[in-house]
Amino acid sequence: MNEVSLHWRAWVPEFVLLALLWGSSFLFMREGAHAFGTFPTAWVRVTSAALMLLPILIWRGEVPVLRAHWRRTFTSGLLNSGIPFACYAYALMSISTGLSSILNATTPLFGAVIAWYWLGDKLNASRTLGLALGFTGVVFLASDVPGGVSFKPGGSGLAVVACLVATLCYGLAGSFTKKYLQGVPSMVTTSGSLWGASLGLCIPALLTLPTEMPPLHAWASLGVAGLLCTALAYVLYFRLMASTGPARAMTVTYLIPVFANVIGVVLLDEVVTPWMLGCGVVIVVGTALASGLVTLRRS
């Protein structure tokens, strides 16, 4: 009993902290996006995180390892950070942080489909049911976004699509990492991917810089998003992967919307409707089944 208790205490605090960091990132990205715009917001976030991790990479003597794997880690960065962060920055200018975070919980759904198609992972009846449930929840959620669905520039429909493109990229990044970056040290993968995202976003960001200097609070928001919600969060995530295994670490996805919605309601006066909660539950249950974390037993 004591051993189990100590093990529980060893990983749960970091697990909750990680969910809080990633849940709060929607708030900070929203504040930054309204002042900086889509691409500059994503670029500042990944670049500040990459700069924070660079001294650690040098101290660990892993720069030569990054040099040897730079093409694949940089590609991973575009899929895991560059494109998704830009998509969320765009979406958060039109829809709430709570809605964005619920859509973010679909990441393992796309991950399961891509792993099945690309890596040959088997989909049993339970996982197939989970995929159907999860994507049904997304359709219902997207059909009733506040203000109605609009696919005009800046409309809620495009914002929902942007969130789903982000989660699709996360799913691709997971399979890409598993296929091409197995055995590469986690700090190399993390740091390299952030530099890849920074380089990929650099030109679009420079071409779309705001005409006026953003206010101090916007800089502070992106600083927190980069240093805490990205650099520190990635370190925590890989620590959890090592100590508890990928399956348990991935369940952090289900806790993120809780923090994001609470923060949105308290600090931004956002409204969480019963419909959003119901669709969120359907998505989470479907995702848990699709990812294999929960399995239906035959009687």
Burial class of residue 225 (count of CB atoms within 10 Å of its CB; 0-12, 13-18, 19+): buried
pLDDT at 219 over 50: yes
Per residue, the 3-state secondary structure of 54-109, as one string, reads HHHHHHCCCHHHHHHCHHHHHHHHHHHHHHHHHHHHHHCCCCCHHHHHHHHCCHHH
pLDDT at 276 over 60: yes
Q: Which of the four pLDDT bands, split at 50, 70 and 90, describes residue 156?
A: confident
Q: Which of the four pLDDT bands, split at 50, 70 and 90, describes residue 155?
A: low
Contact call for residues 193 and 118 (beta carbons, < 8 A): no
Residue 242: the pLDDT is 64
pLDDT single digits (tens) 5-37 = 445 566 778 888 998 999 999 999 999 999 999
- pTM equals 0.86
Please give the share of the chain, as a percent, with pLDDT higher than 70: 87
Tell which wins on pLDDT, 251 or 44: 44
What the block records as the tokens of 205 is: 């960001």
Tell which wins on pLDDT, 191 or 122: 191
Helix (H, G, I), strand (E, B) or coil at 270: coil
Tell which wins on pLDDT, 38 or 99: 38
pLDDT at 123 over 50: yes
**Poorest-pLDDT segment among 61-75, 109-123, 185-199, 226-240:** 109-123
pLDDT single digits (tens) 61-117 = 999 999 999 999 999 999 989 999 999 999 999 888 988 988 888 887 887 788 788
